[in-house]
């Protein structure tokens, strides 16, 4: 039996997930509707509007019926954006963790006695540091990148 990675600050093991279809190629009706270049152009247009890669995927799925960009184009959304130079500077998961930490810190400025929020902020920032270490190791972030709570609000604004 394979071991399942647990959550960092919760007791659960996170086994609930959606399953990708067994057939990895796009359905025939979808190939007739859109070419790879059409999909890439739509991705570029949405990225220029300021949408994140996951929001682009949701928009393509809900509005155009494109469930898997990779099955049509051969590449994932983030790789398509990187090839065009439109990828966000911070990885999306790190960006959202920093955004959460900034909002908790803002809450703590108004409510200094909120002990639970102080504790949760420590947990959030430890996840930020762990994720940053991973991205530095894999070359996604520069080696001299540091998370500092004083400058974090400028990163997510």
Q: Convert the pLDDT of each residue in 45-95 to its tens digit.
A: 999 999 999 999 999 999 999 999 999 999 999 999 999 999 999 999 999
pLDDT of residue 8: 82
Written as six digits, the tokens of 7 are 């959550």
Give the count of beta carbons closer than 10 Å to the beta carbon of residue 136: 15
CA-CA distance, 90 to 149, in Å (whole number)? 16
Confidence category of residue 6, pLDDT binned at 50, 70, 90: low
Closest CA to 53 of 84, 36, 69, 77: 77
pLDDT of residue 143: 93
What pTM was estimated for this model as a whole?
0.85
pLDDT of residue 92: 95
Confidence category of residue 21, pLDDT binned at 50, 70, 90: confident
Confidence category of residue 2, pLDDT binned at 50, 70, 90: low
pLDDT of residue 5: 59
pLDDT of residue 20: 82
CA-CA distance, 24 to 11, in Å (whole number)? 34
The residue among 157 and 117 whose pLDDT is bigger is: 117
Helix ranges (H only) for the chain are 28-33, 36-48, 53-59, 69-73, 77-84, 92-110, 115-137, 152-156
pLDDT tens digits, 136-156:
999 999 999 999 999 999 988
Is the Cβ–Cβ distance between 9 and 129 less than 8 Å?
no
């Amino acid at each position: 039996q394979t071991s399942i990675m647990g959550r960092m600050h919760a007791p659960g093991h996170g086994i609930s997930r959606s399953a990708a279809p067994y057939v990895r190629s796009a359905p025939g009706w979808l190939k007739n509707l859109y070419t790879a270049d059409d999909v890439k152009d739509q991705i570029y247009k949405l990225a220029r509007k300021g949408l994140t890669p996951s929001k682009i995927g949701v928009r393509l799925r809900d509005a155009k019926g494109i469930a898997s960009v990779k099955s049509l184009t051969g590449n994932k959304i983030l790789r398509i954006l990187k090839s065009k130079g439109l990828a966000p500077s911070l990885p999306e998961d790190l960006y959202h963790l920093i955004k959460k930490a900034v909002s908790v810190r803002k809450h703590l400025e108004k409510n200094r006695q909120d002990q639970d929020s102080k504790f949760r902020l420590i947990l959030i920032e430890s996840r930020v540091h762990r994720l940053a270490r991973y991205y530095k190791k894999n070359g996604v972030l520069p080696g001299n990148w540091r998370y500092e709570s004083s400058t974090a609000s400028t990163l997510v604004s």
